[in-house]
Structure 1
Amino acid sequence: MVEKQTAGRDHLGKLAPKFAELNDDVLFGQVWSREDKLSARDRSMITIAALFSAGLYPQLKAHLEIGKRHGISKEEAVELVTQLAFYCGWPKAWSTFPMIEEVWGSEEA
């Protein structure tokens, strides 16, 4: 089950309240909760791939953490980044592997 998201309101609630509402209630509320259509784990894999390809590292790290909570293993994260390196860029992989190490720590890959 997808947990209630408050990052939009926490970080942008005063500056951009409508954006924060859409982030928390629509994207993470209505879209991510459609687990009968696509699991939260699969949504995390897709989101990680999209953020990796765009080089959006602050959001990527956050979604690696979310992906871990949704059941993505360290080994799967490493394999995902290795696959994406060939399609999206080798330097992006070099930038992402340290994030995987931070998120999963010393867990076996």
Structure 2
Amino acid sequence: MRNLKVTAGRDQLGDFAPQFAELNDDVLFGQVWSRDSELSHRDRSLITLTALMASGILDESLSFHLQNAKKNGVGKNEIVEVLTHLAFYVGWPRAWAVFRMAKEIWNE
């Protein structure tokens, strides 16, 4: 996510929910994700993936963050270990769903 200007909020919700879009693009991705001296992008990716998986959010937002985790240096063996570990805490079916997504992304 380094040097990446995120515009998903404005692209998808700008007309409908402009303040939410601004907070998403400018605050969450513009300010929070840019603080890499406090927490690396790699670590932020792992935390975000864990939160999404634990919340049962298994849609395109999880896929987006899996792709970013890969871009941020999370390797195949690491994502396998993370998902295996999480399976015991968040549920086996969720792990299966995320493994399917991760397999596609890390096999690209």
**Is the structural similarity TM-score above 0.5?**
yes
Contact 1:2-1:32 within 8 A present in 2 as well: no
When the two chains are superposed, the root-mean-square deviation of aligned CA atoms in Å is 1.1
Deviation at 1:38, TM superposition (A): 0.2
Aligned to 1:50: 51
SS in 1 for 2:20: helix
SS in 2 for 1:57: coil
Aligned to 2:95: 93
Contact 1:41-1:67 within 8 A present in 2 as well: yes
Aligned to 1:12: 13
Distance in 2, Cα, partners of 1:69 & 1:7:
18
Equivalent residue letter for 2:65: H
Deviation at 1:53, TM superposition (A): 0.5
Deviation at 1:2, TM superposition (A): 4.5
Give the unaligned 5+ runs of structure 2: none
Equivalent residue letter for 1:33: S
Give the unaligned 5+ runs of structure 1: none
Deviations 1:15-39 (A, max 9, x none): 1111010000000011000001000
Contact 1:64-1:100 within 8 A present in 2 as well: yes
Distance in 2, Cα, partners of 1:102 & 1:19:
31
Q: Percent identity?
A: 57
Equivalent residue letter for 2:33: W
Match for residue 84 of structure 1 among 83, 86, 97: 86
Deviation at 1:8, TM superposition (A): 0.7
The 3 A distance-change label for structure 1 pair 34 and 53 is: same
Match for residue 73 of structure 1 among 75, 78, 81: 75
Aligned to 2:4: 3
For these two proteins, the number of residue pairs brought into alignment is 106
Aligned to 1:26: 27
- The TM-score, its normalising length taken from structure 1, stands at 0.92
